[in-house]
Homo-oligomer: A and B are copies of this chain.
């Protein structure tokens, strides 16, 4: 918060929320964008090769053939390189998962596929991921996916889970209001899996994969059961708790909060 007077430099580092290929973004010169990409790619390669802590900013700069100050012109800090990595990976994951679950209608399978896809996309970065998670746990860092700042990567991820649900045979049978909450909850489920994965030390993170295979049927069953009468009061309580306390804390400020009671009659 106290860093907002980020100096006299007016470089792109001040507003780094634009490097996905979709934006009108940076002025014009392809040169600048090229340097930025070079630095990010070099950093990611070194992170993969040596790990985060052992990769110094000096090494990144030298390996990329620029000065250390130049790296700071494009990335506000070493942590912002992680943001670049996270955005890229989220995007790749969304594409891969969507492709892989095409045609599959079973909700459990779709959920499992999308999580396994994440594990595959992230596999090369397992060691380095600890650092990412550390950063995510810091509420002061704008990189945290839990932080209120609009986080394009998080929106992409939540959209993917909306797709997981909507493309499944489960979707039409669900209460509309619950269906609205679920994408965010499934994203939270991914966060739990990520937490598990970060701490997983088994070869090829086999344990996490097993955890996914075991936990997704449970999630599917839980959601399916939520329609039944007996569970109504509890589901209602849980729903309002989530709506009032969980979602506003993550990105979802007020976008869709308690819409007027939908007079549905099943």
Contact = CB atoms under 8 A, between A and B. Distances in A.
Interface string A114-136: 00000000000000001101111
Given A234-B222, A245-B207, A130 B138 contact: yes
A198 B222 CA distance: 29
A223 to B, nearest CB: 12
A218 interface: yes
Contacts of A234: 218, 221-222, 225
A215 interface: yes
Interface string A133-157: 1111111100000110000000000
A137 B133 contact: yes
How many copies of this chain? Answer: 2
A102 interface: no
A249 B196 contact: yes
Given A130-B139, A130-B140, A199 B241 contact: no
Contacts of A245: 196, 207, 210-211, 214-215
A255 interface: no
A238 interface: yes
Q: What 8 A-B pairs have minimum CB-CB distances, sorted nearest first?
A: A137-B137, A139-B199, A211-B245, A134-B138, A134-B137, A133-B137, A214-B241, A130-B139
Given A214-B241, A214-B244, 9 more contacts: A134-B134, A134-B138, A136-B137, A199-B249, A211-B245, A215-B241, A218-B237, A221-B237, A230-B230
6 contacts: A139-B198, A147-B199, A214-B245, A218-B237, A218-B238, A221-B234
